[in-house]
Structure 1
Amino acid sequence: MKVWEIGGRTGIEGLRMAERTDPVAGLGEICLRVTATGLNHRDLMVLRGDYGRDLPPHRIPLSDGVGVVEAVGEDVSQFQVGDRVIAPHFVNWIDGPYNYAIFAADLGVTADGWLAEKITLPASAAIRLPTEVDEQTAASLAVVAGTVWHAMVAFGAVEPGELVLAQGTGGVSIFALQLAKALGAEFAITSSSEEKLARAKEMGADYVINYRDRPDWAAAMLEQTEGRGADVVVDTLGFPALGETVAATAVNGRIGTLGALSGTPQATASASQGAMIGKNITIKGLASGSRAMTAAAVAVVAKHGIRNPVDRKFSFGDAPDAFHHLESGSHFGKILIRMD
C-alpha cells in the first residue's frame, strides 16, 4: 500500500511517499480501508517540528480520517466488515479524566496516522458512524468534534441563550459555530475576510467581527453585543492574544484554550491576572477530547444534520498541495485529502 511519511520534519517539503505492506488486524484491532482524511493545524505543526518530540521520519501523519472496516481482529465483536468508522486521535483516551499517558498513542504524532491507503485502529477507540453523517463531514470530524465538545460542553457547560465566541474561520471555529447553534446558544466569530464573515453569518453566526478593520476586536464585539461578553470561548488564538480574549469574555466566563494561531504553544500569556480575577474567569488548557466526548458530539451532528463545510479537496498523490493550502490560511472550514 501507499503511505505518506513526515520525513525529516523540515516542513511540507519533507513529506515523502512510501510503499508498505498492508497492515493486519491484531488482537482487539480493526483494519480499515481509508476513504478520506482531513487536515488540522496540528498536522502542519508536526511537519515543522513544532509538535511532538523525537518523531521518526517514517511516521505517517494526519489525526483525522474516515475508513471502512475490511477486517476485524480476534476478540472484536462490536464491528463488522463494511462499517464506516472514525476515531479520536488519542486512541487510548476512551473516557474519564485527561492524563499524560494518552500522548503515547496519538495518531499522526506518536502513532501512525490516517495518510495511508489502509490503517489499523484499536476497536475500543473506533466510533461507528450513523448514516446521517456524510463522508466529507466524517473525514474531518473526530478532532474538531472531541475538541469543541470538550471546550464548549464538558468544560464550558454552555446553556441555551449563552454567547459562545470562536476566533477565525478554520475547522474548529466553524464546527463550534454549528454545534453552538444546535445547542441553542448564540455565537460570535472573528475573521479578516468579509466574505468569510458573510458565510459565517449565513450559517447562523449572530455577531461577526473583522479584526483587520478592528484590531481591537474585543471592543468591537462588545459594541455589537451592547456590552455583553462571551460566556464560553473556544480559544484558537492562544496566549499572545489572551489579553484581547479576556477582554471579550463575560463575568464568570469560561475560556477553553486549545490553539496557538497567534503565536506558538511556547508563548507567554498577554493577559493580566487582575483582568481574569476581576471577571472571575475560568481558563482551561485543552488537549482535544476523549472517545466519549467525540461520540457525544457525533450524536448531535447526526441529529441536527451538521455538515462540515469543505474548502477544497485534494487527491492522495497531491497531499503536499493540501498542506500548502492549509498553510496559506485562506481556507474556510476543512481541507480534505481523498483516496485516489
Structure 2
Amino acid sequence: MKAWEIGEQTGIDVLRQVERDDPIAGPGEIVVKVTAAGLNYRDLMMVRGLYGSDHPDNRIPLTDGVGVIETLGDGVEGLAIGDRVAAQNFLPWLDDGGFGFHVFGQDVGITADGWLAEKIKLPASAAIKLPDSISDETAATLAVVACTVWHAMVAFGGAAPGKLVLAQGTGGVSIFALQLAKAIGAEFAITSSSEEKLAKAREMGADYTINYRDTDDWAAALLEATGGRGADVVVDTIGFGEMAQTMAATAVEGRIGTVGALSGTPQDAATFSQGAMLGKNITLKGITSGHRGMFEAALKVVAEHDIEMLIDRSFAFDEAKAAYEHLESGAHMGKVMIRVS
C-alpha cells in the first residue's frame, strides 16, 4: 500500500511517501481501506518535532479518518466487511473509567500509525460504525474535534439551552463547537482577526463575534456585548498565554475547558492571578480529547441535526505536503482534508 511517513520531524519538507506492506488483522482487529483523512494542529506540531518525543521516522501520521472495513480478524463481532467506520484517537479509552497514562501508548497518528495511508489496522473495540447520514467529509475530519469539544463543552462544561459558550479562533475545534452549541440550543460567541471569517460564523449561527485584531481587550468587548454576563462555558483553544483575558471573559461560576495553546506552547506560564479565578468561582480543567462514548454522543447529535463539517479545502493523497502547508498558513476556516481513495 501507499503511505506517508513523518520522517525526521524537522518540518513539512521531510514528510515522505512510501510503499508499505498491507497491514494484517490479528485477533480482535480490523483492517480498513481508508477513504479520507483530516488534519489537526497537533499533526503539524508532530512533523515539526514539537509533539512528544522519540517517534520513529516511519510513523504514519493523521489522527482523523474514515474508511470501509476490508478484513476482520478472529473473534471480531458486531462489525462486517463493508461497514464504514471511524475511531477515537486514544484507542484504549472506551468510557469514563478508562483514562490513564496507558492511553497515550495507542494514540492514532502519534504513538500508533495513523490514517494517511491506503489502509489502517485498528482494534475492533475502537471502531464505530457510521450512519449513512454522516458524509465521508464530515467523518474524515471529526474524531479529534468531536471528542475534544464534547468533553470540554458538554461533559465538563454542561452546555445547554440558555448557556453562553465561547471559543476562540475559527479553526476546526472552534467551528465544530459553534455547530454543536447551536444544535443543542446554546448561545455562542467566537473571536477571530478576520471580518470575513466572523461573517461566516454569524451565518452559521454565532450570536456574538469579536475581532481581536481591532479590539485588543476582546474580553471587555464580549462583556459589553453580553451586558456584563460573560461566557458560562469556554472551549479554550489559545491557552495560558492569553488566560487572563479568557478568565475576564468568563461568567461567575463559569467553566473553562482548556484544549490548546495557539497563543504559544503548553509550557507557557499562566497570565492570570489566582484572585481572578477565585473571585468568580471559575472551574478550569485540562481536556485531553475524549473517549469512545463521547465520540458516539457527538456523532448522534451530528446525525440528528445533519451537521456537516466546514471543509476549508480538500487535497489529493499525493498533495499531502500542500495540505500541511495550507494548515500551517492559518488561512483556513474549519478543517483541511486529504482524499485517500
Give the distance between the partners of 2:220 and 2:142, measured in 1 at CA.
Answer: 32
Q: Deviations over 1:200-234 (max 9, x none)?
A: 00000000000000111111111111111100000
Partner-residue secondary structure (3-state), 1:178 = helix
**Do 2:35 and 2:67's aligned partners in 1 also have CA atoms closer than 8 Å?**
yes
2:208 alignment counterpart = 207
Q: What CA distance in whole angstroms lies between the structure 2 residues aligned with 1:67 and 1:161?
A: 37
Cα separation, 1, equivalents of 2:237 and 2:95: 24
Residues 4 and 15 in structure 2, CA contact (< 8 A), matched pair in contact too: yes
Large movers: runs of 4+ above 6 Å: none
How far apart are residue 130 of structure 1 and its match?
0.7
Matched, 1:102 2:103: yes
Distance in 2 (alpha carbons) for counterparts of 1:313 and 1:282:
38
Deviation track 1:235-256 (CA, whole Å, cap 9, x = no partner) reads 0000101001000000000000
Partner residue of 1:13? 13
What amino acid sits opposite 2:63 in the alignment? S
Query: Does structure 1 conserve the Cα–Cα contact (< 8 Å) formed by 2:247 and 2:272?
Result: yes
**The residue matched to 1:184 in structure 2 has which SS?**
coil
**CA offset digits 1:115-144 (Å, max 9, x no partner):** 000011001011110111111001001111
- 8 Å contact kept, 2:237–2:261: yes
Instruction: Work out the CA distance in 2 between the residues paired with 1:264 and 1:178.
Output: 27
CA RMSD of aligned residues (A): 0.7
Q: Deviations over 1:245-270 (max 9, x none)?
A: 00000000000001010001111111
The aligned residue for residue 317 of structure 1 is 318
Task: Tell me the alpha carbon deviations over residues 286-337 of structure 1, each in whole angstroms, 9 at most, x when there is no partner.
Answer: 1100011001100110001111010000000010000000001110100000
Aligned match of 1:257: 258
Alignment-mate amino acid for residue 131 of structure 2: P
Distance 1:94 1:14 in 2: 34
Structure-2 separation of matches of 1:75 and 1:266:
44
TM-score (norm. length: structure 1): 0.99
Distance in structure 1 (CA, Å) of the matches to 2:267 and 2:10: 19
CA contact (8 A) 1:52 1:110 kept: no
Deviation at 1:53, TM superposition (A): 1.3
1 CA distance for matches of 2:293 and 2:212?
A: 35
Partner of 1:184: 185
Q: List aligned pairs for 1:147-166, cutoff 5 A.
A: 147-166=148-167
Residue of structure 2 equivalent to 1:4? 4
1:220 corresponding residue in structure 2: 221
1:84-123 alignment runs, 5 A limit: 84-97=84-97, 98-123=99-124
CA distance in 2, matches of 1:52, 1:23: 25
Do residues 235 (structure 1) and 236 (structure 2) align? Answer: yes
Counterpart Cα distance in 2 of 1:14 and 1:270: 35
Q: Is the 8 A contact 2:116 2:340 kept in 1?
A: no
Aligned equivalents of 1:159 and 1:205: distance in 2? 15
Count of residue pairs brought into register by the alignment: 340
Distance 1:130 1:159 in 2: 25
Counterpart residue number, 2:42: 42
How far did 1:174 drift? 0.4
Mapped to 1, the partners of 2:52 and 2:303 lie a distance apart of: 33
Amino acid at match of 2:106: A
After TM superposition, the structure 1 = structure 2 runs for residues 289-328 of structure 1, keeping only pairs within 5 Å, are 289-328=290-329
Give the counterpart letter for 1:192 in structure 2.
Answer: S
Q: Note the C-alpha offset of 1:177.
A: 0.3
Distance 1:297 1:124 in 2: 18
Tell me by how many angstroms 1:157 deviates: 1.3
Which residue is 1:59 aligned to? 59
Which secondary structure does the structure 2 equivalent of 1:321 belong to? helix
Deviation at 1:49, TM superposition (A): 1.0
Which runs of 5 or more structure 2 residues have no equivalent in the other structure?
none
Q: Deviations over 1:6-61 (max 9, x none)?
A: 00000111101111011111110111000000000010011111112100000010
User: 2: distance between equivalents of 1:197 and 1:220?
Assistant: 15
Deviation, 1:159, is 2.1
State the distance in 2 between where 1:231 and 1:99 align: 28
Q: Do the aligned residues in 2 keep the contact of 1:190 with 1:197 (CA within 8 Å)?
A: yes
C-alpha distance in 1 between matches for 2:154 and 2:105: 26
C-alpha distance in structure 1 between counterparts of 2:239 and 2:250, whole Å = 14
Which residue identity lines up with residue 150 of structure 2 in the other structure?
W
SS at match of 1:161: coil
2 CA distance for matches of 1:222 and 1:231? 12
Q: For residues 56-87 of structure 1, what are the alpha-carbon distances to aligned partners after superposition, in whole Å with 9 as ceiling and x for unaligned?
A: 00001000000101111111011101111000
Question: Aligned residue for 1:78?
Answer: 78
Distance, in Å, in 2 between the alignment partners of 1:166 and 1:338 is 28
Unpaired segments of 5 or more residues in structure 1? none
Q: Distance in 2 between matches of 1:261 and 1:284?
A: 17
Partner in structure 1 of residue 24 of structure 2: 24
Question: Would the aligned equivalents of 2:166 and 2:189 in 1 still touch at CA under 8 Å?
Answer: yes
